[in-house]
Amino acid sequence: MTGAEWLIFVGIWFLAGIPLGPNAANCILMAAHHGAVRAHWTIVGILLASLVFQALVFLGVASLLATMAGLFTLLKLVGCAYLIWLAIKLWRAEPVLPSDAGLSEGTKGTTMIRDAFFVSLSNPKAILAYAAVFTQFIDPAAPLAGQVLILTPTAIVVTCVIYSGYCLIGTPLRLFLNSARRVTALNRGIASLFAGSAIAIAANEMRR
């Protein structure tokens, strides 16, 4: 891979990660409740899911799924169900103010990693998105290992930068989350985004 090709990959991957989706919404929510530092546990979950998607691409599973419509549809519906479950859980959650003294001690980083990981995996279309971008920069005539050692760290760094930005966006919201009513409104707004994403994916499948 030449330097120019690497820069193009960086640009495309950055643009691909910018649009607001469930991952970004989750980062904003966690930062609003727990601050940017603790919200980075969410990014760890997103990065772990990214490694899974990249592994699937490099192993050729993404191409296989693209030819197996039934299996791919099933995966998407399972992902939709998980997003709906998260939406319901968040909608019904008791409001917890960011200023609560015990919040930092009571919030587990492992829980934030787990939820972020499954939010990322809940969209099987991401597999094809990874495949669409990564395959454009893989030279089948060159050793795969060397290319993986370039593409994977680059994608991880770019992804981390993007979602760190979303964590910073969410941090100022802490100043406004000074009442149970506002916290509930934020929770339900994010829950609606999760549910809307799931419904949109499911509706798209129904039209096929």
Q: Please write the tens of the pLDDT for every residue from 33-49.
A: 888 888 899 999 999 99
Provide the 10 A C-beta neighbour count for residue 159.
21
| Separation CA 33–CA 38 (nearest Å) | 9
Q: Please write the tens of the pLDDT for every residue from 61-102.
A: 666 666 776 776 776 777 778 778 878 988 887 776 655 534
Q: How many helices (H) and strands (E) does the chain have?
A: 10, 0
Domain ranges of the chain: 24-206
Quote the pTM value.
0.76
Provide the 10 A C-beta neighbour count for residue 182.
15
25, two tokens: 């919404």
> CA end-to-end span of the chain, whole Å?
38
Q: Identify each DSSP E strand in the chain by its residue range.
A: none
